[in-house]
């Protein structure tokens, strides 16, 4: 039986694309199973750029005001709502849950949870102190419940390439590089004999792209720059290591077996960075502009093939790419529960 699923999520150049990318992973799985998906958002243009055109999109006037969305839910009567949006706080959740079964994805414990299903797929998820309102929800915690794009999961089925002497690195600082660090990262590769694949995300400004290309021309290392390439997943897979933000991209790289130099650029990325350090599965730089530190780590990854190999294996063991299927099943359970 087909059900109507509504996803409440936002994204774009100013707030990042991570919520949309992982919510889209869920939408793809529902569509594959012949269910219907609507995205309710304050950022319809960004949603159209990420989600397939078979998804319905409804525009909301405010991120934090629950009223318009609750009214929409009351009028359209979806079978279940999934939210992945920081402004969906306790009261917002309660108002939705009064109308329809609710699944909440949240990366922290900053407010109490009022839901039928609660999801936090982060490495640190089980260490947080959650408080619940009403009946305690079913819990999906830890990397077994990471939402990953279909392309990532398909590519992760293959054995990643292995080269003792690395030939390729990738720089991927998010969909919009909110900290504008990509040029700094590119310059850190100066003097190394390696090809640096540098990604310009869909939310980068033209000025950002120009500064990245200028940085690539300044260094002796071979640097290529690609804006929102269609083969991004393959580029990530082929890389011997990556420099990336401590964002949802982290879990994609872990699944693909690509060793990571991780750079947190926002407060909500700090817990991911801390967990990576605690588990010793990536090298973390909290301040890459401190001269020499990033260069030293790049050199370590180039020269220490045992470190790269161990981190490749750990990442693939930790993230098995079945999280989207697990979450989909749980959402279908609460949607069809008597």
The whole-number average pLDDT for the span 262-279 is 94
In the predicted structure, residue 288 carries a pLDDT above the cut 80: no
Do 214 and 143 lie in a common domain?
A: no
Do 227 and 274 lie in a common domain?
A: yes
Name the pLDDT band for 18 (thresholds 50, 70, 90): confident
8-24 exposure pattern, b = at least 16 Cβ within 10 A, e = fewer: bbbbbbebbbbbbbbbb
Contacts of 35 (CB under 8 A, 6+ apart): 2, 3, 4, 5
**Domain total in the chain:** 2
> What is residue 176's predicted lDDT score, i.e. its pLDDT?
85
Do 290 and 198 lie in a common domain?
A: yes
Do 69 and 216 lie in a common domain?
A: no
Do 252 and 300 lie in a common domain?
A: yes
Do 313 and 325 lie in a common domain?
A: no
User: Which tens digit of pLDDT belongs to each residue from 161-217?
Assistant: 999 999 999 999 988 888 899 999 999 999 999 999 999 998 899 999 999 999 999
In the predicted structure, residue 274 carries a pLDDT above the cut 90: yes
Please give the structure tokens belonging to residue 165. Answer: 């002497």
Do 136 and 230 lie in a common domain?
A: no
Lowest pLDDT segment from 9-13, 97-101, 138-142: 9-13
User: Which tens digit of pLDDT belongs to each residue from 76-118?
Assistant: 999 999 999 999 999 999 999 999 999 999 999 999 999 999 9
Do 24 and 131 lie in a common domain?
A: yes
Q: How far is CA 59 from CA 3, 41, 56, 286, in A?
A: 21, 5, 10, 36
Do 197 and 222 lie in a common domain?
A: yes
Signed CA dihedral, 305, 308, 309, 310: sign only = positive
Task: Work out the percent of the chain whose per-residue pLDDT is above 70.
Answer: 99
CATH number at residue 219: 3.40.50.2000
Do 33 and 100 lie in a common domain?
A: yes
CATH number at residue 327: 3.40.50.11190
Structural domain range at position 125: 4-148+321-336
């Amino acid at each position: 039986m087909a059900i109507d699923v509504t996803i409440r999520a936002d994204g774009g150049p100013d707030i990042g694309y991570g919520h949309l990318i992982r919510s889209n992973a869920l939408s793809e799985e529902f569509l594959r199973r012949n269910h219907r998906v609507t995205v309710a958002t304050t950022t319809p243009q960004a949603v159209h750029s990420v989600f397939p055109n078979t998804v319905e999109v409804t525009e909301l006037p405010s991120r934090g005001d629950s009223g318009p969305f609750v009214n929409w839910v009351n009028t359209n009567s979806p079978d279940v709502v999934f939210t992945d949006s920081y402004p969906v706080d306790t009261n917002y959740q309660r108002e939705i849950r009064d109308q329809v079964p609710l699944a909440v994805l949240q990366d922290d414990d900053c407010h109490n949870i009022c839901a039928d299903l609660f999801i936090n797929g982060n490495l640190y998820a089980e260490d947080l102190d959650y408080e619940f309102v009403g009946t305690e929800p079913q819990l999906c915690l830890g990397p077994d419940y990471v939402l990953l794009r279909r392309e990532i999961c398909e590519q992760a089925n293959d054995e990643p390439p292995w080269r003792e002497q690395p030939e390729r690195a990738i720089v991927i600082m998010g969909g919009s590089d909110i900290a504008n660090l990509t040029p700094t990262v590119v310059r850190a590769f100066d003097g190394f004999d390696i090809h640096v694949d540098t990604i310009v995300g869909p939310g980068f400004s033209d000025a950002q792209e120009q500064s990245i290309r200028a940085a690539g021309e300044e260094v002796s290392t071979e640097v290529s720059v690609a804006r929102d390439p269609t083969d991004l997943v393959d580029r990530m897979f082929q890389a011997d290591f990556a420099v990336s933000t401590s964002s949802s991209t982290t879990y994609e790289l872990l699944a693909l077996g690509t060793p990571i130099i991780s750079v947190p650029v926002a407060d909500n990325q700090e817990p991911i960075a801390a967990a990576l350090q605690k588990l010793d599965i990536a090298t973390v730089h909290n301040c890459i502009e401190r001269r020499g530190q990033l260069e030293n780590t790049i050199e370590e990854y180039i020269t220490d093939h045992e470190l790269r190999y161990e981190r490749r294996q750990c990442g693939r063991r930790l993230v098995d790419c079945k999280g989207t299927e697990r979450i989909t099943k749980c959402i279908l359970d609460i949607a069809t529960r008597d």
